[in-house]
Amino acid sequence: MTAAMLAIAAVVVAAFAGRRRHRAIWIDRLARDRGEALAPTIDLMAMTIGAGGTPADGVSLVAERGPVVVRAAFGGVLDAQRRGDVLIDALPLLTEQLGPDYHPLVSALTANEHGGAPVGALLQRLAEEADRARRQSVELALAQLPVRLLVPLVCCQLPAAIVGAVVPLTIVALRHLRG
């Protein structure tokens, strides 16, 4: 009876640990996707403002046609505006929902809304920095790829090579020894 209870407890603990790990992986993946969406989001904002639109128009465009992982946050800013909030008061929602990577974008848009500061060049520079950061993360992932592929290579290819090459040679050698 005690062994069965210990086995059940071990299964429950393993399931809980697996669930926590799965959640951590999901959170990391979401953060990475949001980081990768930063450059296209800034590009959409810069394009809208460069074409004579307002930051509110840019927020609307990103909420409608931007990267999927940021649409909900930009939609939340639009919802706050519909409830009566001013854009300047609603923009910090982006940093809260998407993370600190979006703070420079929020600051630039706030400066434009507050004092009419030109942000075209600033948004261009932010987009270039976001592209550079994304390239660095891709290069880092590519550098880690051989290490990650080592385990499958050893666990799958090595046994296949042994079964495909060593076993048949051993069988042929044993047949020749017998007669």
pLDDT tens for the chain, residues 1 to 179: 576 666 666 655 555 655 666 677 777 787 787 888 888 888 888 888 888 888 888 888 888 998 888 888 899 989 988 998 888 888 888 888 888 888 888 888 888 877 777 787 788 888 888 888 888 888 988 898 888 888 887 788 878 888 888 888 888 888 888 86
Question: 114, 113, 115: which is closest to 54 by C-alpha?
Answer: 113
**Residue 45 near residue 58, CB atoms below 8 Å:** yes
- pTM for the full predicted model: 0.65
H runs (alpha helix) in the chain: 2-50, 55-65, 68-82, 87-90, 92-98, 103-115, 120-152, 158-161, 167-178
DSSP assignment of 79-128, as one string?
A: HHHHTT--HHHHTHHHHHHH-GGGHHHHHHHHHHHHH----HHHHHHHHH
CB atoms within 10 A of CB 93: 17
Domain residue ranges in the chain: 2-146
